[in-house]
Amino acid sequence: MTRATSILPDRVERALGLLVLILLAAVVAAVLRGRPQWAQVPLVVWLHLATVVVALGVTPVLLWQRRGTRRHRVLGYVWAGAMLASAMDSLAVRQIGNGAFSPIHLLSAFVIVTVPLLVLAARRHEVSRHRRTARGLVIGALLIAGFFTFPFERLLGHWLLG
């Protein structure tokens, strides 16, 4: 892969950005619909939602803009920080299962390990590894995990669909 093609978004990244925007819209709609219950939501859940919203909002910008620019690096650090904060905070979110960890917490551990590897690949100019890792995190940690916040009587699903 040449540097010229690696710094521009491709069809996959444009599609991922669009899916992330759709998820962000669903999250915002759910939070707005749940306003009457906001006072009952624990602070740790609000922190998790805030960090996820930051990551969701920055993702399309990162995926759709030219790579290797100062703006991409700065937003990349914001995104990485939001993802790490979200994963770490999620370890304290255990409302389901009487305070026990659930299988979703394995994803949190994966994100805590993978985000630093993503940053390291970028700093080493390992474009292909960085791109694969970023796509994997967007697909797994944002889109798939985000999808599973809506069914099964989870908070956002209850607010949006209930």
Boundaries of every domain in the chain? 8-161
d(CA 26, CA 56): 11
The type of residue at 62 is L
H helix count then E strand count, the chain: 8, 0
Mean pLDDT of the chain: 90
Q: Helix (H, G, I), strand (E, B), or coil: what is residue 85?
A: helix
What pLDDT digit, counting tens, does each position of 29-68 carry?
999 999 999 999 999 999 999 999 999 999 999 999 999 8
- Do 85 and 92 contact (CB within 8 A), yes or no? no
